[in-house]
């Protein structure tokens, strides 16, 4: 998964390292969108291999320690921190990480994590001693200044869009000038690349724009650049009396989310916005804000635009 600007970096872990090093389990908890690190299943039987290794060590671990290992294993799987690559090139006849040399050549990994790193590997390898922010391959940025063009906004969030099935754009100012949001078609096309279906496409905005105004502008500006048959749900919210202000701008998915300090509309040359990864707590809280009913905002109207 690539873009001119990368906020999410892909790693993989030698499955034989997981059963034999507790420190590596702790490192795995630092994967996920909120951390800027994605874990690729290599090989495709990664989960099965790890589970087999866990079972192999059961006899030599105290019951409580083994239970903790299994709990971490289950938590990692439930949190959907792992991603799969289509047409993964993995040579099972070669040792890890040499088995990934061809895959790394075509779609580079940030690094491979291994218990006993091999010398002379074509793939960058991290040991347990390298998993700290002092290592350039482990440290990843949490925010980036991005030019406010459709191209750059889309490229900045493309790695997130390509692994997600939900698309929730939060921008209070979309309703007042939908024509400025030329980034939306680019982001949706990226999210639906390789025939990936989206289960939710929603735009959450304010009330400074009528339904007919938003429909007309969207059909004129965004719809011509989108495939036919998309169902895009529009939600218009307002602040409750004495309640939280409708101000922040986000892109929320089923995997995680990012904020955009200056919105998702396209601006003049030289204008930038700060795009930042959301921590898990903020992501969960913000996604809950836009579920009806019971959130901090009052839903004024909702409608669907079909392309």
pLDDT digits (tens, 9 = 90+) for 7-61: 789 999 988 887 665 666 777 788 999 999 999 988 888 888 887 877 776 667 7
CATH code of the domain in which 100 resides? 3.40.50
pLDDT at 62: 82
Q: 165 and 51 in one domain?
A: no
pLDDT at 23: 65
- Domain stops at, among 73, 103, 130: 130
Q: 213 and 282 in one domain?
A: yes
pLDDT at 22: 67
pLDDT at 44: 85
pTM of the model: 0.88
Bond from prior residue into 212 cis (ω within 30 degrees of 0) = no
- Any domain includes 137: no
Q: 213 and 119 in one domain?
A: no
- Domain stops at, among 98, 130, 162: 130
- Any domain includes 187: yes
Q: Which of 186, 16, 27 has the alpha carbon at shortest distance from 114?
A: 16
- Domain stops at, among 83, 107, 130: 130
Name the stretches of the chain with pLDDT < 50: 1-5
- Any domain includes 196: yes
- Any domain includes 138: no
Q: 149 and 68 in one domain?
A: no
- Residue 303 sits at the vertex; the CA angle it makes with 181 and 231, to the nearest 5 degrees, is 70
Structural domain total, the chain? 2
Domain that holds residue 74: 9-130
- Residue 277 sits at the vertex; the CA angle it makes with 250 and 87, to the nearest 5 degrees, is 100
E strands in the chain: 9-13, 37-40, 82-83, 111-113, 125-126, 143-147, 166-170, 200-205, 231-239, 250-252, 257-260, 272-277, 297-306
């Amino acid at each position: 998964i690539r873009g001119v600007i990368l906020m999410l970096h892909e790693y993989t872990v030698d499955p034989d390292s997981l059963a034999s090093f507790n420190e590596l389990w702790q490192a795995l908890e630092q994967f996920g969108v909120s951390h800027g690190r994605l874990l690729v299943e290599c090989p495709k039987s990664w989960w099965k291999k790890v589970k087999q290794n866990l079972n192999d060590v059961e006899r030599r671990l105290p019951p409580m320690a083994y239970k903790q290992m299994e709990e971490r294993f289950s938590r990692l799987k439930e949190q959907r921190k792992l991603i799969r690559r289509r047409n993964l090139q993995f040579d099972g006849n070669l040792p890890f990480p040499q088995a990934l040399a061809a895959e790394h050549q075509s779609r580079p990994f940030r690094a491979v994590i291994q218990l006993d790193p091999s010398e002379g590997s074509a793939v960058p390898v991290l040991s347990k001693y390298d998993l700290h922010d002092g290592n350039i391959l482990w440290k990843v940025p949490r925010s980036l200044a991005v030019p406010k063009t459709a191209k750059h906004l889309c490229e900045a969030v493309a790695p997130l869009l390509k692994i997600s099935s939900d698309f929730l754009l939060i921008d209070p100012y979309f309703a007042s000038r939908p024509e400025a949001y030329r980034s939306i078609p680019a982001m949706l096309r990226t999210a639906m690349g390789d025939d990936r279906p989206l289960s939710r496409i929603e735009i959450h905005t304010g009330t400074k724009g009528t339904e007919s105004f938003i429909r007309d502008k969207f059909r004129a500006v965004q719809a011509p650049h989108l495939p036919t048959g998309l169902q895009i749900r529009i939600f218009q919210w307002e602040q409750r009396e004495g309640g939280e202000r409708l101000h922040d701008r986000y892109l929320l998915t089923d995997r995680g989310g990012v904020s955009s300090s200056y919105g998702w509309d396209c601006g003049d040359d030289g204008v930038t916005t700060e795009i930042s990864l959301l921590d898990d707590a903020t992501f969960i809280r913000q996604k809950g804000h836009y579920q009806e009913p019971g959130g901090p905002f009052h839903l004024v109207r909702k409608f669907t635009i079909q392309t």
